C-alpha cells in the first residue's frame, strides 16, 4: 500500500469548519413559512384500552390546526396506521389500546409548540387499564398478558425475510443455534459454570433530539427533512405506510447531532407526514429530551450462560438470551439474530447451544444502540470466561488466547472466519496494561485490579450501499451517497477513498448529503458498515469513472489503458509522468466542451448464505468481523464501593485504517461512552413507569468521568474485499468495556457483579456477602 | 404578556417584542436565527445552549429573555473577528475535538470563558470547568487536548482576542 497518497493518512475532518463555527446544517435550522408545530399526548398507563377521546375543546383553541387520534389515522384511505422495520406493530398514534407508559395517543399541530401543548391540556382520554407485564422472563411465559395478539412481518429488509408471523405469545422472534452434542459435553465435564447476567435499558441521549419537518411541495410531492440514520428506509416506510409512489417522496438528511442507533428506521416521520397531509401545511415535530427517553432504549437483556470445562478447556456453552424489546419490536428481531449467534464468544467451542428470544413487554420500545446488542452478550460471555479462568487458577489472558479462533477456523455458526484479529487484540490489550507485571501486595481499603475482555461483532449481512460518483471537467468530483454524517467522519472517509481512487486531492471531492431524489439506496448508517459498504460502492463507482478516463487517454496517446495511472488531477503512463493528460484535457477530448460531467454508479451488496433455522449453521453468516478488546485498571474503595478507572485501553481490529487517527478516536470515544453505561447509566422503571426520564435524573458521563489515563490501539488485519482492506470502527470500542471493568473489579477486591451498571451499592453488597455479613433487601 | 426589550447580542443591539415566558434560547434561535445555540435537554443539564453572559457561560434554556437585558450576550457567531477561526476553534479542529459537533458551540464558549478567567488552568481545572457540557460522542479525550492546546497558544500569544 506504499503508493497510497490520501488513504491511510490522518487527514483532518472535511466537515470541521462548519461544525466548529456552529454553521453546520441541522434539521432544526430549516424553516418553511407557515410551519405548524407538534405536541403529543402520551399514555399514562403501560397497558390500557382507550375508551373515549374528547378533543373538541382542543380543536376549538385559537391557533390549533388539527388534533389527531390513532383511530382517525386508521380511517385515512390507503394508509396503514402501523409501521416498523421487523413487524408492522407500531401505530403512529395508539389505535384502540396503549402498550406502554409514554405511548403517543393524541397529536396536536398548531402555530407554535406552546399552543399545541395548551391544546393537549384540553383533550380528555378515558382509559380502561389492562394487565401488563414488565419483566422479560415473565413476558416470555405462555400465561403472560399479551402485548400484541398478532405479529405482522414488515418484509422491508432481506436479512429479516425469515421473521415469521406469530400470535398468542410475547416472543416475537426466536433464534436457535445448535452444534455438537451439548448434553453429552455437560455430562462428561469436569466442571460446569452456570451464571445469569443482566444489563439494563439505557438511553442513547443524542445531543440533538429527534426532529422531522414534512411538507407538500408545489408538485404535491412529500418532502421530509429528518434527523435520521436511514433516509432510504424512511422513504420506503413512508411509501408503504401512505401508499405513495417512491418518486413522490423526497427524504433529506443534513448533519445530525448524534444517533448511536436511536435515529434508525422510522420514528417521527410517519406521524409528521400524516399531519402534513391532513393540514396541507409544513409540519415540524421536535422531541423534547423527556420524549426522547420515551421513544427508544437500549435492550434490557437477561443472559443465562452455562459452560462446560474438560481438561481445562471449554467444551460446551449453552446460552439463553432474552431481549426485552418493549412494546414494539422495532429492530429487536435483527438484534436477537445477529447478536444472538455471537453469544458464545469468539472461541473454539465444539458444542454450542444458543436460544435467543426477542420478547415484547409493556415498556418503552428498545432498538439499536451502538454495538447492536453485542455489548450485552459480551457482558455475559466474557464476564463468565474470566470467572472460569480465575476459578481454574488459569491466567485470564492465556485462558482466552488458547481457544480464540484463528484465520480460517469455523465460528459457532460454521462460517470460516477471515480477517479475525481476536488474538492480536487480546495480546495488544494485555501488553498495553502491563498484564504480566507482578501485582504489588495490597493492603488498605483501596485496592487496584486489572481486567481484560475480548469479543467480536459480525457485520449485518446482507446489506446494500449504492453510490454515484460524478467527475467534473475541472477535476473536482461530487459523490452521491446516502450515508449520514452523524459524527463518525464518513464524509472524510468516503472523500479519502474517492480522492485516492481518482488521483484527486481530498478538497476536490464533495460528498453530497443524503437526498433520496439523488443519492442511491443505502440500507442504514449503522453497525460499523459504512466504511466497508459505502466505501466499496464509492470506490467502485470512482474506478468506473477512472476507467472511462483511461480509455480516452489510451486512445489519444496510443497507450495501454492498464499502464495508466491517475494522480494529481492527471492520467499518465506509469513511470512517464509527462506522457499524460489533465482531467480538463480529457474532458475536452471527449466532449469538446468544459463544464461537462462523467458519472458512474456502483452497488456494494455482500450476500449471506442460507442459515439453517434449526441449527443456525451457515457457510457465510457475515461479510466481516470486528474483534474488540478492552483493558482497564481500576481502584476500588472497599469502604464506599466507589470505582475509579485509572487506565483504559481500547483495542480494535478495524481492517486497514483509512484514517488512523479517526479510527483511534472512534475506538476510544465508543469505549468512554460505554464506561458510563458500565458504571452508572440505567433507565429505572417502576411498574412500567420511567422514573428518571430527564437529564436531571439520568446521568450521562461527563469529562470528569474520563479515566486518568487512556488510549486506543488500532489493530489492522486487512480484509480481502474491504476498500483498501478496511472494515469499520464505529462500534468496536463499545463492545468489551463492561466485562473488562467487572473483571478488573474482581481482580481488585474479589467480588463479581453480574448486573449492570456496576454501582458502588452493588459492590458493597457483594463485599458484605463475601465477608458473610447479612445484607438487607435488594 | 408581551413586552419590547433590547438585548445586546454579539456587539449589536437587538430590539424585539417577546413574551414573558420566552427563554433566551427561544429568542436566540427562533427570532434571531443564531443556529449555533442548540436546545438539547431543556433543563440546564447539558450545556448545548451555552452562551456567554457578561463573559460567564450560562444555559440559555434556563434564562428568560426579559431577564437578559442590559447584559453582554455572546454566542458562537460573535466569537472572534467573523473572518477566521478563533484560536480555540482552531485547537478544536486540529485536535479533532468534534464529531457530531452538536455540543461544540457550547464547549468552545465554555473554554473561552475558562481561559479568559484562568489563562493557565490545570488539567483538573479544565475537567471541572467543562463538566457541565456533555458530549455524547464522548470525545472528551480530544476536547481535553484541544483545551490544552488552546491554553498553550494563549500563553504564547498574549494578545487579547475576543
Q: The cell 486497514 sits on which residue?
A: A656
What is the pLDDT, as a whole number, of residue A656?
Answer: 96
Please give, rounded to a whole number of angstroms, the shortest distance from the CA of B88 to a CA of chain A. Answer: 10
| Nearest-CA distance A412 → chain B (Å) | 33
C-alpha cell at A388: 472460569
Say yes or no for a CB contact (<8 Å) between B96 and A206.
no
For A686: left if phi > 0, alpha if psi spans -120 to 50, otherwise beta; the answer is beta
The answer to whether B85 faces chain A, any CB pair under 8 Å, is yes
Using DSSP's 3-state secondary structure scheme, residue A673 falls into helix
Residue whose C-alpha is closest to residue A469's, from A456, A484, A479, A458: A479
Q: B54 burial class (0-12, 13-18, 19+ CB within 10 angstroms)?
A: exposed
Mean pLDDT value across residues A186-190: 98
Q: Which one from A485, A623, A731, A746 is the annotated catalytic residue?
A: A731
CA-nearest residue of chain A to B100?
A487
Predicted local confidence at residue B161, as pLDDT:
47
Examine the residue annotation and report whether A291 is marked as an active-site residue of this protein. Answer: no
CA torsion, ordered A732, A738, A744, A746, to nearest 10 deg: -150
| Cα–Cα dist A509/A502, whole Å | 10
Cross-chain residue pair B136–A13, CB shorter than 8 Å = no
Give phi and psi for A210, each to the nearest 5.
Answer: -55, 140
Substitution target from B60, B134, B137 for chain A, most A beta carbons within 10 A: B137
Residues A106 and A119: beta-carbon distance below 8 Å: no
- The answer to whether the bond into A486 is cis (omega within 30° of 0) is no
Q: Which residue has the cell 453429552?
A: A184
Closest CA to A350 of A395, A421, A414, A278: A414
Q: Is the pLDDT of residue A1 over 50?
A: no
Q: Is there a contact between A255 and A24 (Cβ–Cβ < 8 Å)?
A: yes
Give the residue carrying C-alpha cell 460531467.
A597
Q: Are A605 and A464 in contact (CB under 8 A)?
A: yes
> How close, in Å, is residue B158 to chain A by CA atoms?
23
Chain A: residue nearest B88 by CA?
A20
Q: In terms of CA atoms, which chain B residue is nearest residue A707?
A: B141
d(CA B16, CA A147): 51
**Cβ of B103 under 8 Å from any chain A Cβ?**
yes
Q: Tens of pLDDT along A673-689? A: 999 999 999 999 999 99
**DSSP at B31:** I
Interatomic CA distance for residues A710 and A672, integer angstroms: 9
- C-alpha distances (whole Å) from B1 to each of A58, A113, B4, B31 are 22, 17, 10, 17
Instruction: Provide the edge-to-edge strand list for the sheet that holds A625-637.
Output: A446-458, A625-637, A643-653, A709-715
Average pLDDT over residues A394-399: 97
Q: Domain locations in chain B? A: 2-78, 87-156
CATH (residue range B87-156): 1.10.150.120
**Extended beta strands in B62-132, E state:** 72-74
Of the candidates B129, B125, B127, B124, the residue with the CA atom closest to the CA atom of residue B113: B129
The CA–CA distances, whole Å, from A224 to A34, A189, A512, B9 equal: 16, 59, 17, 33
DSSP codes of every residue in A356-397: EEEEE-SSS-EE--TTTTHHHHHHHHHHHHHHHHHHTT--HH
Contact A206 B98 (CB under 8 A): no
3-class secondary structure per residue, B3-25: EEEEEEECCEEEEEEEECCCEHH
Identify the closest residue of chain A to B144 by CA–CA distance: A703
Contact B140 A703 (CB under 8 A): yes
**What pTM was computed for the model?**
0.96
Taking residue A245's Cβ as centre, other Cβ atoms within 10 Å add up to: 8
* Set of cell numbers at residue A120: 393537549
Q: How far is B41 from chain A (nearest CA, A)?
A: 5
pLDDT in tens, A602-621: 999 999 999 999 999 999 99
For B94, the closest chain A residue by CA position comes to A12
A327 pLDDT higher than 60: yes
Q: How many residues are present in chain B?
A: 162
Q: How far is B33 from chain A (nearest CA, A)?
A: 8
pLDDT in tens, A138-152: 999 999 999 998 888
> Does the pLDDT at position B155 exceed 90?
no
If you measure CA to CA, which chain B residue comes closest to A697? B45
Cell of A65: 390546526
Contact indicator for A631, A454 with CB cutoff of 8 Å: no
Cβ contact B51:B133 at 8 Å: no
Residue A776: per-residue pLDDT: 66
CA distances from A329 to A85, A102, A262, A362, A364 (A): 8, 16, 14, 11, 10
Contacts of residue B108 in chain A, CB cutoff 8 Å?
A: 20
Helices A269-279, A231-242: axis angle to 10 degrees equals 50
* Residues A500/A556, Cβ–Cβ less than 8 Å: no
**pLDDT > 90 fraction of chain A, expressed in percent and rounded:** 94
For residue A532, CA distances in Å to A460, A466, A604, A723 come to: 11, 12, 9, 6
- Considering the four listed CATH numbers 3.10.180.10, 3.30.300.30, 3.30.365.10, 3.30.1490.20, the one that applies to the domain covering A297-405+414-461+611-770 is 3.30.365.10
Tens-place pLDDT, residues B19-59: 999 999 999 999 999 999 999 999 999 999 999 999 999 99
Percentage, residues of chain A above pLDDT 70: 99
Average pLDDT, rounded, for chain A: 96
Whether the CB of B89 is below 8 Å from some CB of chain A: the reply is yes
Dihedrals phi, psi of A650, to nearest 5 degrees: -105, 125
- pLDDT digits 0-9 by tens, A431-460: 999 999 988 889 899 999 999 999 999 999
C-alpha cell, A413: 455458526
pLDDT tens profile A331-340: 999 999 999 9
The answer to whether B43 faces chain A, any CB pair under 8 Å, is yes
Using a CB-CB cut-off of 8 Å, the residues of chain A touching B130 are: 702-703
Tell me the shortest Cα–Cα distance from B122 to chain A, in angstroms: 13
Confidence bin at A517 (pLDDT 50/70/90):
very high
Handedness of CA A80, A85, A86, A92 (dihedral sign): negative
Strand segments, DSSP code E, in chain B are 2-9, 12-19, 50-53, 56-59, 72-74
Instruction: Establish if B17 touches chain A: CB-CB under 8 angstroms.
Output: no
CA distance B21 to chain A (A): 10
**A36-42 vs A283-286, strand pairing mode:** parallel
CA distance A384 to A232: 40
Query: What topology is assigned to A463-604 in CATH?
Result: Aldehyde Oxidoreductase; domain 4 (3.30.365)
Instruction: Convert the pLDDT of each residue in A355-378 to its tens digit.
Output: 999 999 999 999 999 999 999 999
At A538 the pLDDT is: 98
At B7-21, the pLDDT tens digits run 999 999 999 999 999
What's the whole-number mean pLDDT along residues A504-508? 97
Number of inter-chain CB pairs under 8 A, A vs B: 160
CB contact under 8 A, B136 and A673: yes
Q: How confident is the model at residue A163 (pLDDT cuts 50, 70, 90)?
A: confident
Nearest by CB to B77, which of A20, A22, A209? A22
Give the pLDDT mean for A293-314. Answer: 98
Asked if pLDDT for residue A625 goes beyond 90, the answer is yes
Is the predicted pLDDT of residue B162 greater than 50, yes or no? no
Please tell me which of the candidates A12, A26, A256 has its beta carbon nearest to residue B96.
Answer: A12
Put simply, whether B42 touches A (Cβ < 8 Å) is yes
Q: Which three cell numbers stand for residue A257?
A: 447531532
Q: Find the angle CA(A717)-CA(A721)-CA(A723) to the nearest 5 degrees.
A: 80
> Do β-strands A300-310 and A191-199 pair in parallel, antiparallel, or remain unpaired?
antiparallel
Strands A564-567 and A570-573: antiparallel
E strands along A244-364, which residues? Answer: 249-252, 283-286, 297-298, 300-310, 313-326, 351-360
Domains A31-130+207-258+262-293 and A463-604 share a fold: no
Whether the CB-CB separation of A547 and A748 falls below 8 Å is answered with no
> Under an 8 A CB cutoff, do B100 and A209 touch?
no
Q: Where does B2-78 sit in CATH, by number?
A: 3.10.20.30
| pLDDT tens sequence across A170-182 | 999 999 999 999 9
Q: Would the CB atoms of B136 and A486 count as touching at under 8 Å?
A: no
Three cell numbers, residue A186: 455437560
Quick: pLDDT tens for A7-42. Answer: 999 999 999 999 999 999 999 999 999 999 999 999
Q: Which 3 state secondary structure label does DSSP give A208?
A: coil
Q: What local confidence, expressed as pLDDT, does residue B106 receive?
A: 98
Q: Could you tell me whether strands A300-310 and B50-53 are parallel, antiparallel, or unpaired per DSSP bridges? A: unpaired
Fold of domain A31-130+207-258+262-293: Aldehyde Oxidoreductase; domain 3 (3.90.1170)
Position B46 scores a pLDDT of: 98
Contact A672 B40 (CB under 8 A): no
**B73 bridge partner residues:** B9, B53
Contacts of A726 (CB under 8 A, 6+ apart): A531, A532, A535, A654, A655, A656, A657, A658, A718, A719
End-to-end Cα, chain A, rounded Å: 58
- Determine contact: B102 vs chain A, CB below 8 A: yes
pLDDT reported for residue B157: 66
Does the beta carbon of B143 lie under 8 angstroms from any beta carbon of chain A? yes
Give CA separation, A180 vs A176, A184, A340, A593, in Å: 13, 9, 18, 68
Nearest CB partner across the interface for A665, out of B48, B92, B96: B96
Amino acid at each position: 500500500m506504499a503508493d497510497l497518497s490520501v488513504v491511510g493518512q490522518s487527514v483532518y475532518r472535511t466537515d470541521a469548519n462548519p461544525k466548529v463555527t456552529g454553521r453546520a446544517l441541522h434539521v432544526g435550522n430549516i424553516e418553511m413559512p407557515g410551519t405548524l408545530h407538534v405536541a403529543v399526548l402520551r399514555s399514562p398507563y403501560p397497558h390500557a384500552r382507550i375508551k373515549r377521546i374528547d378533543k373538541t375543546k382542543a380543536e376549538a383553541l385559537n391557533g390549533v390546526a388539527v388534533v389527531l387520534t390513532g383511530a382517525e389515522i386508521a380511517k385515512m384511505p390507503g394508509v396503514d396506521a402501523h409501521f416498523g422495520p421487523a413487524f408492522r406493530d407500531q401505530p403512529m398514534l395508539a389505535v384502540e389500546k396503549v402498550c406502554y407508559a409514554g405511548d403517543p395517543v393524541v397529536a396536536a399541530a398548531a402555530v407554535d409548540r406552546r399552543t399545541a401543548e395548551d391544546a393537549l391540556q384540553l383533550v380528555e382520554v378515558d382509559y380502561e387499564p389492562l394487565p401488563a407485564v414488565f419483566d422479560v422472563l415473565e413476558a416470555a411465559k405462555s400465561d403472560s398478558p399479551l402485548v400484541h395478539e398478532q405479529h405482522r412481518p414488515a418484509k422491508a429488509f432481506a436479512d429479516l425475510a425469515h421473521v415469521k408471523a406469530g400470535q398468542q405469545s410475547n416472543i416475537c422472534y426466536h433464534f436457535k443455534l445448535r452444534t455438537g452434542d451439548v448434553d453429552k459435553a455437560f455430562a462428561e465435564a469436569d466442571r460446569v459454570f452456570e451464571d445469569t447476567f443482566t444489563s439494563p435499558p439505557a438511553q442513547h441521549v443524542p445531543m440533538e433530539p429527534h426532529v422531522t419537518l414534512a411538507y407538500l411541495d408545489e408538485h404535491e410531492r412529500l418532502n421530509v427533512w429528518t434527523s435520521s440514520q436511514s433516509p432510504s428506509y424512511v422513504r420506503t416506510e413512508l411509501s408503504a405506510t401512505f401508499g405513495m409512489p417512491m418518486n413522490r417522496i423526497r427524504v433529506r438528511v443534513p448533519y445530525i447531532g448524534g444517533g448511536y442507533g436511536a435515529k434508525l428506521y422510522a420514528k417521527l416521520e410517519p406521524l409528521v407526514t400524516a399531519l402534513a397531509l391532513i393540514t396541507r401545511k409544513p409540519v415540524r415535530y421536535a422531541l423534547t429530551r423527556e420524549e426522547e427517553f420515551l421513544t427508544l432504549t437500549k435492550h434490557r437483556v437477561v443472559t443465562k450462560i452455562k459452560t462446560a470445562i474438560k481438561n481445562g478447556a471449554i467444551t460446551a456453552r449453552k446460552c439463553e438470551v432474552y431481549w426485552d424489546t418493549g412494546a414494539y419490536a422495532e429492530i429487536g428481531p435483527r438484534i436477537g439474530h445477529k447478536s444472538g449467534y455471537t453469544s458464545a464468544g469468539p472461541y473454539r467451542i465444539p458444542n454450542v447451544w444458543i436460544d435467543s428470544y426477542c420478547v415484547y413487554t409493556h415498556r418503552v420500545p428498545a432498538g439499536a444502540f451502538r454495538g447492536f446488542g453485542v455489548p450485552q452478550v459480551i457482558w455475559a460471555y466474557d464476564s463468565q470466561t474470566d470467572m472460569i479462568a480465575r476459578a481454574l487458577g488459569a491466567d485470564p489472558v492465556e485462558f482466552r488466547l488458547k481457544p480464540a479462533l484463528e484465520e480460517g477456523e469455523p465460528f459457532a455458526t460454521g462460517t470460516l472466519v477471515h480477517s479475525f484479529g481476536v488474538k492480536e487484540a487480546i495480546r495488544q490489550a494485555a501488553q498495553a496494561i502491563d498484564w504480566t507485571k507482578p501485582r504489588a501486595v495490597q493492603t488498605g481499603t483501596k485496592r487496584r485490579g486489572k481486567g481484560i475482555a475480548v469479543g467480536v461483532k459480525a457485520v449485518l449481512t446482507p446489506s446494500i450501499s449504492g453510490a454515484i460518483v460524478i467527475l467534473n471537467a475541472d477535476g473536482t468530483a461530487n459523490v452521491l451517497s446516502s450515508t449520514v454524517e452523524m459524527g463518525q467522519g464518513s464524509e472524510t472517509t468516503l472523500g479519502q477513498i474517492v480522492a485516492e481512487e481518482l488521483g484527486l486531492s481530498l478538497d476536490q471531492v464533495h460528498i453530497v448529503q443524503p437526498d433520496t431524489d439523488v443519492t442511491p439506496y443505502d440500507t442504514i448508517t449503522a453497525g460499523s458498515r459504512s466504511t466497508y459498504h459505502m466505501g466499496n460502492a464509492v470506490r467502485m463507482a470512482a474506478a468506473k469513472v477512472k476507467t472511462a478516463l483511461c480509455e480516452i487517454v489510451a486512445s489519444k496517446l496510443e497507450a495501454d489503458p492498464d499502464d495508466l495511472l491517475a494522480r494529481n488531477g492527471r492520467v499518465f503512463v506509469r513511470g512517464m509522468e509527462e506522457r499524460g493528460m489533465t482531467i480538463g484535457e480529457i474532458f475536452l477530448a471527449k466532449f469538446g466542451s468544459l463544464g461537462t460531467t462523467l458519472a458512474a454508479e456502483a452497488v456494494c451488496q455482500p450476500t449471506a448464505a442460507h442459515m439453517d433455522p434449526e441449527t443456525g449453521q451457515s457457510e457465510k453468516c457475515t461479510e466481516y468481523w470486528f474483534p474488540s478488546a478492552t483493558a482497564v485498571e481500576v481502584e476500588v474503595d472497599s469502604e464506599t464501593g466507589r470505582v475509579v478507572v485509572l487506565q483504559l485501553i481500547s483495542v480494535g481490529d478495524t481492517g486497514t485504517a483509512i484514517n488512523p487517527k479517526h479510527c483511534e478516536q472512534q475506538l476510544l470515544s465508543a469505549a468512554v461512552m460505554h464506561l458510563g453505561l458500565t458504571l452508572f447509566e440505567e433507565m429505572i422503571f417502576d411498574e412500567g413507569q420511567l422514573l428518571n426520564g430527564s437529564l436531571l435524573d439520568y446521568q450521562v458521563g461527563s469529562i470528569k468521568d474520563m479515566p486518568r489515563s487512556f488510549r486506543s490501539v488500532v489493530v489492522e488485519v486487512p480484509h480481502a474485499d474491504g476498500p483498501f482492506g478496511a472494515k469499520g470502527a464505529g462500534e468496536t470500542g463499545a463492545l468489551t468495556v463492561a466485562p473488562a471493568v467487572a473483571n478488573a473489579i474482581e481482580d481488585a477486591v474479589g467480588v463479581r457483579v453480574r448486573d449492570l451498571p456496576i454501582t458502588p451499592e452493588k459492590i458493597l453488597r457483594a463485599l458484605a456477602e463475601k465477608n458473610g455479613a447479612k445484607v438487607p433487601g435488594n | 404578556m408581551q413586552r419590547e426589550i433590547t438585548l445586546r447580542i454579539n456587539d449589536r443591539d437587538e430590539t424585539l417584542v417577546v413574551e414573558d415566558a420566552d427563554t433566551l434560547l427561544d429568542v436566540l434561535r427562533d427570532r434571531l436565527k443564531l443556529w449555533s445555540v442548540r436546545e438539547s435537554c431543556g433543563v440546564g443539564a447539558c450545556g448545548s445552549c451555552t452562551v456567554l453572559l457578561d463573559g460567564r457561560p450560562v444555559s440559555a434554556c434556563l434564562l428568560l429573555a426579559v431577564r437578559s437585558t442590559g447584559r453582554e450576550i455572546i454566542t458562537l457567531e460573535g466569537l472572534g473577528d467573523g473572518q477566521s477561526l478563533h484560536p480555540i476553534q482552531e485547537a478544536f479542529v486540529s485536535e479533532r475535538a468534534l464529531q457530531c459537533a452538536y455540543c461544540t458551540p457550547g464547549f468552545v464558549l465554555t473554554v473561552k470563558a475558562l481561559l479568559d478567567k484562568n489563562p493557565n488552568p490545570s488539567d483538573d481545572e479544565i475537567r471541572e470547568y467543562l463538566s457541565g457540557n456533555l458530549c455524547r460522542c464522548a470525545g472528551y479525550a480530544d476536547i481535553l487536548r484541544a483545551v490544552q492546546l488552546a491554553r498553550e497558544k494563549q500563553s504564547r500569544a498574549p494578545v487579547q482576542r475576543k
